[in-house]
Amino acid sequence: MNSILFCILIVLFGLAVGSFLNVVILRFDELKTIWLSRSHCPKCKKELSWHDLIPFFSYILLWGKCRYCKKPISYQYLLVEGFTGLAFGIIYCQYGLSWEALFLAVIVSIMIVIATYDLIHYEIPDVLSYLAIFFSLGLIIYRLGISGHLNYLTDYINYGYAVLIAGGFLGLLVVVSREKWMGKGDILLGVLMGLLLSFPNVLTGLFIAFVFGSVIGLILIALKKKKMKDAVPFGPFLILATLVALFWGGELIKLYFNYMGIY
């Protein structure tokens, strides 16, 4: 099959997964309702037909409004589905059809749920962080074991360094600020970042996270959406930075070295 066509199919599959992730995010506090009730409009409670539930495209065709009550549908549906489809496409382009790709697809899906839930509720469910950490450990074991990697000790040490740096640094900020700058849930995301990026790429991830956080924070203040004392969830920035560093960290480091004249 043509690789471009297959990539499109992977993206479409990602959109479908993103649709399911939206359901998980909205019903996370009552997960059993995922299986016990049909999807419905949150405004008018009307049960939705299959053509209202086509991932990503239904939102576009309906102009972001419910077919029945004409009230606006949250941008969350479009963004989560679109971002998941894009992430799956990138994973496929970089890793093909492999166990690494499968592990990463699961991990990224969990991370998208964490980021969106944090944006909505200003809270990171620990169970989701532990689940992502569990699959990340599985990915490490696969990479260093089954793939025949030779430098086991060095690689394990690098992952350990990364976890200590990211988790320790974020933990220090939590303690020093007494959870005013960020919450305890961010520490687990630091551990997850370390496991996915290893050392030294974790430094790139942390740098990007704080740049993203600072820029978005200043923009929100300039637009008068937030004040200096208002809380802004940091989890989404950590997750976005982790993904950027995971997919393009090596290239970013090379660009930086070239810019600084370091070869």
Q: What is the pLDDT of residue 118?
A: 93
Could you count the other beta carbons within 10 Å of the beta carbon of residue 86? Answer: 14
Under the phi-then-psi rule, with left for phi > 0, alpha for psi from -120 to 50, and beta for the rest, what region is 205? alpha
Could you count the other beta carbons within 10 Å of the beta carbon of residue 35? Answer: 7
Please identify every stretch of the chain with a pLDDT value under 70, giving residue numbers as ranges: 1-2, 30-53, 67-68, 146-152, 228, 230, 256-257, 259-263
* Model pLDDT for residues 223-240, shown as the tens digit of each residue: 777 776 767 789 999 999
* Model pLDDT for residues 157-181, shown as the tens digit of each residue: 889 999 999 999 999 999 998 877 7
Q: What is the pLDDT of residue 232?
A: 79
Note the pTM of the prediction, 2 decimals. Answer: 0.88
